[in-house]
Amino acid sequence: DTEVTQTPKHLVMGMTNKKSLKCEQHMGHRAMYWYKQKAKKPPELMFVYSYEKLSINESVPSRFSPECPNSSLLNLHLHALQPEDSALYLCASSNPTGTRGGGNEQFFGPGTRLTVL
Amino acid sequence: LAKTTQPISMDSYEGQEVNITCSHNNIATNDYITWYQQFPSQGPRFIIQGYKTKVTNEVASLFIPADRKSSTLSLPRVSLSDTAVYYCLVPSGNTGKLIFGQGTTLQVKP
């Protein structure tokens, strides 16, 4: 199984709502990532978990709260978002090899298209 | 911090070979160079990765000169389905995180 799944595929929420994005992988990967991608722009790294611990937070606003309950699951909790947070949210996973870029191909999910009204 | 520079866009025709070059002047000695492909509204997909000289797999080749300040992704005999955005990535900073640059939009025409 070389697939990363993300749910939901689409999400529309108001600025006062609380919602969560979910990501799952069963490849035994111990690194998981959240990216945000606006239209016609490259993916922007948000968070990295390594061995279920948060290792990188790219100065993301606190209205985005990541959670890694176990090695297969990654959540992104959303609260009090702004319309400018509307984007495609991508999850990825990889094996943390300890080398700089070597052998740690990231597998991406299809993303969740988020619209904040 | 390492940064990549690629052409914003390229056009090609079906059946041609396409070469996309990426500049990465500040790449560190131990860093690998990785290329991803992305179709609209899909997650990026790994294409190829290399450290030096030449790497080839079933879909592409990656050429890296001795100074490693650039690399070239070569797509042989492209088809319409190769129309996509291609990203070159190198590790950045102490954490070695991969940062996506602006990418190259490849348009393959019939």
Query: Given an 8 Å threshold on Cβ–Cβ distance, is A48 in contact with B97?
Result: yes
For a pLDDT cut of 90, what percent of chain A falls above it?
89
pLDDT in tens, A2-20: 699 999 999 999 999 999 9
Residue A88 forms contact with B (CB below 8 Å): yes
Which residue pairs, CB below 8 angstroms and at least 24 apart, start in A61-68? A66/A34, A68/A32
pLDDT in tens, B45-84: 999 999 889 999 999 999 999 999 999 999 999 999 999 9
Q: Which residues of A touch B49 (CB under 8 A)?
A: 101-103, 105
In chain B, positions 56-95, which contact chain A (CB-CB < 8 Å)? Answer: 87, 89-91, 95
Concatenating the DSSP letter of every residue in B45-73 gives: EEEEEESSEEEE-SS-EEEE-TT-SEEEE
Query: Given an 8 Å threshold on Cβ–Cβ distance, is A88 in contact with B89?
Result: no
How far does Cα B39 stand from its chain's mean position? Answer: 14
8 A C-beta contact, residue B17 and residue A84: no
* Structure confidence at residue A1 (pLDDT): 65
